[in-house]
Amino acid sequence: MTSARHARSRLIVTVDALRLALAESSDLLGFTLGGTIDEETAAAAEADGVPRKFLDFCRVLNGVGCGPSVQLFSLWEAEEHQFYCEPVVDSPLPLSPEKLYCVGMIQEAPVYLDRAGGDVLGALEEGPDWPDAERFDQLAPSVEAFFLERLVDPAEYQRLALIDDELVEYDDWLKLLRRAGLSG
């Protein structure tokens, strides 16, 4: 439990730093960081089958658009994207709404939360051809870890977003990470 509590407090500190940097950065896109969901909303969503591990993340950060090709959904956006969990004809992927919950998109490929274990999964290397992938890759052990280790890490984000070195200085998410003191 100590490790989960540490990750949650690290998430809160990181999101607070990002929110402060965004508030002081009128030149950056305002839709980058979502708000939070309240306990009543979370309880209703959990009763409707939304995984608690995703709701715990949304209590701190209800969606984040890191750029045009990298997004973790808000609760409402996620609810609209659950069709990505449905089986796809001729796809070898184990798609199932009972096993997966779609929590985001990267390069036109869905990002999933494994309902049983809480792992974040995806077939990102395939991009828009993700149904043709042979298997899902584990992207992180949790939504919090995915955000902190992949999206807040400038090098990992740059790799996921397919940003070449010449465009690094123009990417708003990377600018926000630098201004928040999170760029290493």
* pLDDT tens-place string over residues 15-52: 999 999 999 988 887 568 999 999 999 999 999 999 99
Domains and CATH numbers, the chain: 2-179 (3.40.1580.10)
**Tokens coding 137:** 């890759």
DSSP string of 129-182, one letter each residue? GGGG-SSPEEEESSHHHHIIIIISSHHHHHHHTT--GGGGGG-HHHHHHHHTT-
- Per-residue confidence (pLDDT) for residue 3, from 0 to 100: 61
- Per-residue confidence (pLDDT) for residue 170, from 0 to 100: 85
Q: Is the separation of the CB atoms in 155 and 165 below 8 Å?
A: no
Confidence of residue 63 (pLDDT cuts 50, 70, 90): very high
Confidence of residue 154 (pLDDT cuts 50, 70, 90): very high
